[in-house]
Amino acid sequence: LRLSDERVVFGGIGGFNILDTEELTTNKKEPVVQLTGIRLFNEPYNTDTSSVFEKELILPYNKNFLSFEFAALDYEKPQQNKYAYKMVGVDEQWVEAGNR
């Protein structure tokens, strides 16, 4: 039950508990971003290693339409994560990718 002053009341073993939401702290640590997939011509790119994402990916010249899938490991407010990427040798500036 939310009170008018934003405190939350809920039942417990010994009675009621009151939680003051103003005293809650937020996670100020930036979440780790993980590369979760690579797609080549819109098909999943599979590698022959358990480490799907090595430091370098070498493709033939005709395999040039690729996309990356990624996620930030932040479970508190994932809708507030904002992404940007920059491909070395391709992009001069960071490309904003929104909050996906």
37-94 pLDDT per residue, tens: 888 999 988 765 545 566 677 888 998 898 888 888 877 777 878 888 888 888 999 9
**Distance between CA 28 and CA 30 in Å, rounded?**
6
pLDDT of the residue at 48? 58
How confident is the model at residue 66, as a pLDDT? 87
Partnered with residue 44 across adjacent β-strands are 39
Task: Please list, in sequence order, all residues whose beta carbon lies within 8 angstroms of the beta carbon of residue 96, skipping any fewer than 6 positions away.
Answer: 82, 83, 84
CA–CA separation, 10 and 96 (whole Å) = 41
Average pLDDT over residues 29-40: 84
Residue 42 pLDDT: 92
Give me the residues paired with residue 71 across strands. 34
Mean pLDDT value of segment 20-42 = 81
